[in-house]
Chains A and B, each alone.
Chain A
């Protein structure tokens, strides 16, 4: 076996933290399968972009894997039923989100049979030579990825098909598979790599086929030797297939364990030494980055025809009796999973979805697992921090020293506090990846990340408001113009009528006076034509003036209007 590497050295990123990983809590055992619950709550928006639109009705009987929400627009992803049963409601329910606000969900009462809808794989499983892989076109695979509702499972939740499509059109020469999993506690990627390395490798081959990348690098933190070995063995096992489909082999590279090495920009920097331009994408420098779980999901979609209806979730923390990784149907309530994993309710302090650095505290445990749920961290008292009130900043610059983006969090904090939104953009707030390093090292316990989120939100809000004001101004001016035109048109019509009346009167007068004017004078003939033209012009002007603001409606607005129309007709 010869794994030639074109990676000669590793680079490094500034800042970062050495953290206590606490991964050994949950990374040893097999991946358990969670039970299918009695009720599934499946949110229609589990991705960045437009929410999916429900295509099922209350009372519908559905099977596992059946489409229940179809994608809306270019950046969106469909949603599928994660078990068979009956739709009992489509309504707003609490979803895992820091705000504790509800969102639209499809509620399914499961029948316990867990019957699959017919699955149509693109490649049959009994194809040891992977010949069929040759026959597949990039479009076919992309379509399948889109159909399966696959989104970036590393946390970005960007619809994968859209990302792959863009990468395919651009010259992308390096595919980076992110297996760093740098956040403490989380081991779902680790478990996947240990238990299903073949699926990952085949999935990577598929992604590589779509984007046409020459190089493929898997970046993995060096605190996961078992996963590294499992993946290396799988690469060796599939050497022939890899060889046939790629000029270069898949390289797996261990990177030093330092948070946030798994950040997309940081991993790219460590592996290639390149930096993604600000406000740009990795594709701008010929790189596309995908999470390792996403790769495995692509495999499942293509080889088994299964859409994304379940995911591996790490259940861990001091209050969990047996920390483990579980494969959970999307829509299963977190309470059910915790009950299955066993938890000590009396010792629970916090429940975090995601890791302790970038996750968020769940507002309720009666929320469903979504495509984004990689970890449920149930801490006991003293394990995680409830921040003491912040002290004043002492300008120690530990935040700047730990920032992997070389930002100056301290200065940004002052401007966020002063709500100086222009200045804070001068300090490049939009390059902040919210990794949490600055808040963690801050001796004054200042919630820096929250200040930055707040400032970003304010900037976006201001922009939205400005846009809305501009739109309102335009519409108002349009309306003023229309009213003006209508007024003019009315005046014109009135003038014409008056003229006509006057003329008629004059003619009658003439008739009465002379009586010899039997024939119309030639000139009055021309007058009549002129009159007609003027009339039609006035009519046209009136029509034009009646042009409404409501002609160029967006899709959503049109929909609202149509619905109103429907309601109107019903009455």
Chain B
């Protein structure tokens, strides 16, 4: 009896030691969870999550202080990806207002700009250039559409506009027509509405 117990204890100690050693020797370096979370966030740095930027939000999620559904620019996809990464349940997106359809960028109405540099200071990604008393300009390709430059502007000369779709950004849509969702009528009609219904009323 005693020997049995001792043997078991000895075995347990041995395997415990082995496991402990293995975890040290074969340690797998994985990038810290904060980096992984940060990589999934859209990096708009908009602060809509109430944190000072994407990385602080990532840190908060990692620390368990923030839920995963505070990022409107990332949308459902980001929530889904975060849920997958952290193995938690998908939460519905917390939205304060109607989300925008598609990406947006800031545009400065140049006639109104007084060159106060307030927006330049507000921009988290340095996408606005200009100097004091000189007109400012948004570099469109760098703008993340975070809207942080809108409130500081004293003359309300910054507008958020949807990014215009062009031939190069156009997309084949996902096919939507199958027997289970029969659309009404011919959804493909064009060539100028089949030459205005072949010139008949």
Contacts and interface: CB of A to CB of B under 8 A. Distances in A.
B11 interface: no
Interface stretch (B62-70, B88-96, B172-180): B172-180
Given A99-B167, A365-B192, A561-B139, A390 B179 contact: yes
B59 interface: no
B125 A472 contact: yes
Interface string B41-71: 1111100000001110000000000000000
B171 A454 contact: yes
Nearest to B38: A473
B124 interface: yes
Given A345-B199, A564-B137, A101 B170 contact: yes
Contacts of B127: 475
A561 B129 contact: yes
Interface in B167-201: 167, 170-175, 177-179, 181-183, 186, 188, 190-192, 194-195, 198-200
B38 A348 contact: no
A95 B167 contact: yes
B169 to A, nearest CB: 9
Given A345-B195, A454-B172, A389 B179 contact: yes
A340 interface: no
Contact of B178 (A98, A389, A465, A561): A389
B191 A351 contact: yes
Interface string A456-489: 0110010001001111110111111000000000
B172 A348 contact: no
A98 B190 CA distance: 11
B23 interface: no
B191 A348 contact: yes
Given A95-B167, A362-B191, A457-B171, A479 B139 contact: no
B126 A349 contact: no
Interface string A170-193: 000000000000000000000000
A554 B139 CA distance: 11
A349 B186 CA distance: 12
Contact of B137 (A362, A392, A480, A561): A561
A549 interface: yes
B178 A475 contact: no
A386 B135 CA distance: 54
Contacts of B191: 348, 350-351, 361-365
A479 to B, nearest CB: 5
Contacts of A33: none
A194 to B, nearest CB: 31
A473 B134 contact: no
A103 B168 CA distance: 10
Interface stretch (A24-32, A78-86, A445-453, A509-517): A445-453
B174 A101 contact: no
Nearest to A97: B167
Contacts of B190: 100, 361, 363-364
Interface residues of B, number: 48
Given A364-B191, A365-B192, A548-B126, A469 B135 contact: no
Select the residue from A363, A469, A470 with max chain B CB neighbours within 10 A: A469
Contacts, number: 142
Nearest to B171: A457
A392 B174 CA distance: 16
A567 interface: yes
A390 B194 contact: no
Interface in A524-571: 548-550, 553-554, 556-557, 560-561, 564, 567-568, 571
B198 A347 contact: yes
A568 B43 contact: no
Contacts of B55: 473, 476-477
B43 A361 contact: no
Contacts of A548: 126
A8 interface: no
B144 interface: yes
Given A390-B175, A556-B141, A364 B41 contact: no
B126 A390 contact: no
Contacts of A348: 191, 194-195, 198
Nearest to B141: A557
B8 to A, nearest CB: 46
B140 interface: yes
A364 B192 contact: yes
Nearest to B45: A476
Contacts of A560: 137, 139-140
Contact of B129 (A97, A387, A471, A550): A550
A523 interface: no
26 contacts: A45-B167, A97-B167, A101-B165, A101-B170, A348-B198, A365-B191, A391-B178, A447-B177, A450-B175, A454-B173, A457-B172, A465-B42, A471-B142, A472-B125, A473-B38, A476-B54, A477-B55, A479-B124, A549-B142, A550-B126, A554-B141, A560-B137, A560-B140, A561-B129, A564-B135, A564-B137
Interface of A: 45, 95, 97-101, 103, 345-351, 361-366, 386-387, 389-392, 446-447, 450-451, 453-454, 457-458, 461, 465, 468-473, 475-480, 548-550, 553-554, 556-557, 560-561, 564, 567-568, 571
Interface of B: 38, 41-45, 53-55, 110, 124-127, 129, 134-135, 137, 139-142, 144, 165-167, 170-175, 177-179, 181-183, 186, 188, 190-192, 194-195, 198-200
